[in-house]
Amino acid sequence: MVSKKDIQKEYKNLKEKIKFHNEKYHSQDDPDITDQEFDLLFKQLKELEKNNAFIDTTDSPSRMVGGKKLSELTPFEHGLPMLSLDNAFSSEDLKDFEKRNLNKLKENIDFSYLVEPKIDGVAISLFYENGNLLRAGTRGDGFVGEDVTHNVLTIPEIPMTLNRTSIDFPKKMEVRGEIFIELNDFSLINKDFKKNNKKVFANPRNFVAGSIRQLDSSIAAKRPLKIFCHSIGLVSDRNFFETQDEMLKKFNKWGLPISKEVNVCNNLDEAAGLIDLLTEKRNKLNYEIDGIVVKINSKAIQEKLGNSSRSPRWAIAKKFPAEEGESRILSISFQMGRTGVLTPVANLEPVKLGGVTISNATLHNMDEVKRLDVRENDYVKIIRAGDVIPKIKEVVLKKREDGSKTISPPNTCPTCDNTISFFESNTPLLNTDVLTTNNKNCYGFSQFKETLKHFVSRNAMDIDGLGQKTIDIFVDKELVTSLPDLYRLNEEDILSLEGFAEKSADKLLDSLNESLNTDLHRFIYALGIKEIGIETSKNLSKYFENLESFFSIKYEDYLEVNDVGEVAAANLENFFKSDSNKKILEELLKLGLDLKPPIQVKESHLTSKVIVITGKLSNYSRESLKLKLENLGAKVSNSLSKKTDYLIAGEDPGSKLSKAKQLNIDIIGYSDLDGFLNNL
Ligand code: IVH
């Protein structure tokens, strides 16, 4: 039987080990165990915590935030579900809402309503017990969200303890609200990000979600997040509030921020008037709203009406009409979809609509192209309603240029260059013509996944964190529809997927970024051209030296290369002469693909020497020193062993120095480094 004391001791040891490795990983950037080993330690720690209630976890790394490694956000169970709101698009819908409720109550009364903005932010639930904020969680699926207490605690506006005023508060309550960012703060931050070449955020909501779902609270702490509290979930005393309005007033007294735009009225007509006023005011508000919420004020009536499975019956969100804008069609292209069907897409001059920049709109099918009679260079009216995909409403005919041509479908598939067949659908519901390659060799959907799998593999672009499962998800969710799309992924895209936490997302992005500077031969191999394996790619890369020359190479030239026979030469020629492939390569170059030409390694005093680097080196970045050594023919390794020839030791070299001494390995001190490199 293991005693409590032994467990405490084991726990303390584990805790110290993890803190030590955390420090090495995050602060010194010099881990000496693998991620897997670290994860194992972490798992052991969590197991101990789970199985032994007596353990004091207050300073546990499992709770720690701020540059410290966490595995992922933990689940957050809601006391009462976080529901959605029903939508109303017209005044008719609002009248129906009232009628439904009157029928349900079997009464004919005037409801008093609350009219308030529907904040376009991130929903949050704050759990207070005896006035103290204990936990905070996101909405998730309504029942279970994610624990983001560490980030919520960085928002100065959210009180850790409620003001004790003359009114007491319920012993327990879940305060529901919306975290958002003010528009001027958002645009300042985005400008700054742009200046520093960081990814900008598409809209304020994404920015907030990206801040709140981080493991590292120092990120949220730097961002001026705000909150409006608007409702309540579980509350220990159900009769604590008589009206919605009174509840908000109490929130305010306790120090919980509420919107200034909330108004009470006596009937639906007045509510309609308040909706109009707030709609007019919308563009003057310093935060984004995506509708106006109308709520029955009386809590007793709210209770009587109750909820449907999805939303409360006593509230409704009046949505804004679709936003309309104008843009110009730059080109119309055809995209291969998951089922092998080609979809026409209008590539637009970027235009801002409802807070997001729109640069393309689907045209669905050829029927739609004919119906709208869209042509390249046409000016078009675009509409976007809420989160719905933007649509082209009509062509602005009076702005049409003379001589514009109608759009015909391509003859060959843009992804595989195979002939396209025209399939006339006889499904009355679809009533549309479908373009398809009907060709099993077209890398429509599943082939595309295979292409990606090969592209990211170890000998190819060597992108960490992109296994088969992740690739499937990226492709299925259409986050990645072409190779260049891989390099357009951003942190939000990745964090939006289950199983990704901040660290794994960052790792993937770093890995993608690094891969843009890979060797020419790896890239050639990564393209997955039939018959072109890694060795042939090396030969090709030594022969042609840069990617650009591949565009002008002919069949006969390929045959000159060691190892390249007639089939391989034909495949290479076909690949590089295809317009769609050229487009992909051009896009990749635009995204920063910068391939390293083959190193023509000269014989040097370091040829084939195995070298390990440790400690801080103020004159060199570790990467540049590594490159320099490799260019001299050395192999740079991370782990010290008997096979190591030299250890380059910078400042604070740590345990590797003593190990090298034990193994009798030559140690190059920092002051000797230049001499060592130059063989002086
Ligand atoms: S009341 C669902 N009031 O909208 C019942 N919700 O579509 C309680 N939201 O997840 C919600 N502003 O986070 C309410 N003034 C407001 C709101 C609001 C934004 C969010 C809320 C909810 C979503 C429902």
Cα distance between residue 496 and residue 507, in whole Å: 15
Residue 461: other Cβ atoms inside 10 A: 22
Specify the pLDDT at position 68. 37
* Binding site membership of 120 for ligand 1 (Cβ less than 6 Å): no
Residues 6+ apart with CB under 8 A from 84: 142, 310, 311
Q: Please tell me the residue having the least CA distance from ligand 1 atom 22.
A: 84
CATH number of 420-515: 1.10.150.20
Residue 442 pLDDT > 80: no
* CATH classification (class only), 4-63: mainly alpha
pLDDT value for 71: 42
Active site residue 449: no
CA dist 56 and 45 (Å) reads 12
Of the candidates 187, 120, 174, 105, the one whose C-alpha atom is nearest the C-alpha of residue 145 is: 174
Most confident of 34-43, 191-200, 233-242, 260-269: 260-269
Instruction: Point out the ligand 1 atom lying closest to the alpha carbon of residue 122.
Output: 13
**Ligand 1 atom nearest to 117, measured from its CA:** 15
| Ligand 1 within 6 A of CB of 87 | no
Q: Is 318 in the pocket of ligand 1 (CB under 6 A)?
A: no
Ligand 1 atom 15: residue of nearest CA: 118
**Ligand 1 mutation pick, 113, 118, 296, max ligand atoms within 8 A of CB:** 118
Better-predicted residue by pLDDT, 512 or 422:
512
Q: Does 418 have pLDDT greater than 90?
A: no
pLDDT > 60? residue 230: yes
Q: Across residues 265-274, what is the average pLDDT?
A: 97
Percentage with pLDDT > 90 across the chain:
40
Distance 319 CA to ligand 1 centre (A): 12
Q: List, by residue range, all CATH 3.40.50.10190 domains of the chain.
A: 610-677
Q: Which atom of ligand 1 is nearest to the CA of 295?
A: 1
In short, whether 312's Cβ falls inside 6 Å of ligand 1 is yes
The CATH number corresponding to 86-319 among 3.30.70.2190, 3.30.470.30, 2.70.240.10, 3.40.50.2300 equals 3.30.470.30
CA of 267 to the centre of ligand 1 (A): 21
Residues of the chain with CATH 3.30.470.30: 86-319
Taking CA atoms only, the protein residue closest to ligand 1 atom 24 is 84
The CA 118 to ligand 1 mean position distance, Å, reads 6
Nearest to 46 by CA among 11, 84, 77: 11
Q: Is the CB of 290 under 6 A from ligand 1?
A: no
What spacing in Å lies between the alpha carbon of 174 and ligand 1's midpoint? Answer: 14
Classify domain 519-596 at the CATH topology level: DNA polymerase; domain 1 (1.10.150)
- pTM of the entire predicted model: 0.52
Rounded to the nearest angstrom, the distance between the alpha carbon of 233 and the centre of ligand 1 is 12
Q: Where in the chain is the domain with CATH 2.40.50.140?
A: 323-399
Residue-level pLDDT at 31: 60
pLDDT tens digits for 372-405? 999 999 999 998 865 556 889 999 999 999 999 8
Choose which residue among 176, 256, 289, 387 to substitute to test ligand 1 binding: the one with the highest number of ligand atoms within 8 A of its C-beta.
176
- Residue 120 alpha carbon, nearest atom of ligand 1: 19
| Confidence grade of residue 416 (pLDDT, cut at 50, 70, 90) | low
User: How far does residue 291's CA lie from ligand 1's centre (Å)?
Assistant: 10
Q: Are 119 and 289 in contact (CB under 8 A)?
A: yes
Domain with CATH 1.10.150.20 in the chain: 420-515, 519-596
Residue listed under structure tokens 């009386």 = 298
**Which part of the chain is CATH 1.10.287.610?**
4-63
Class at the top of the CATH hierarchy for domain 323-399: mainly beta
Q: Which CATH class name applies to 610-677?
A: alpha beta
Locate 475 and state its tokens: 């492709």
The pLDDT tens digits of the residues spanning 114-137 come to: 999 999 999 999 999 999 999 999
- Tell how far the Cα of 549 is from the centroid of ligand 1, in angstroms: 57
Residue with tokens 């529809």: 481
pLDDT at 23: 67
Residues 6+ apart with CB under 8 A from 356: 202, 203, 384
Residue 483: strand, helix, or coil: helix
Does ligand 1 come within 6 angstroms of the Cβ of 316?
no
Nearest residue by C-alpha to atom 21 in ligand 1: 123
Greatest mean pLDDT among 65-69, 477-481, 545-549 lies in 545-549
State whether the beta carbon of 319 lies less than 6 angstroms from ligand 1.
Answer: no
For 409-442, give one letter per residue: b (16+ CB within 10 A) or e.
ebeebbbbbeebeeeeeeeeeeeeebbbbeeeeb
Catalytic residue among 15, 69, 118, 538: 118
Distance 185 CA to ligand 1 centre (A): 23
| Confidence at 69, pLDDT banded by 50, 70, 90 | very low
Residue 138 pairs in a beta bridge with: 124
Q: Ligand 1, residues 258, 293, 296: which to mutate, most atoms within 8 A of Cβ?
A: 293
Alpha carbon nearest to ligand 1 atom 14, residue:
230
Residue 355 has what pLDDT? Answer: 63
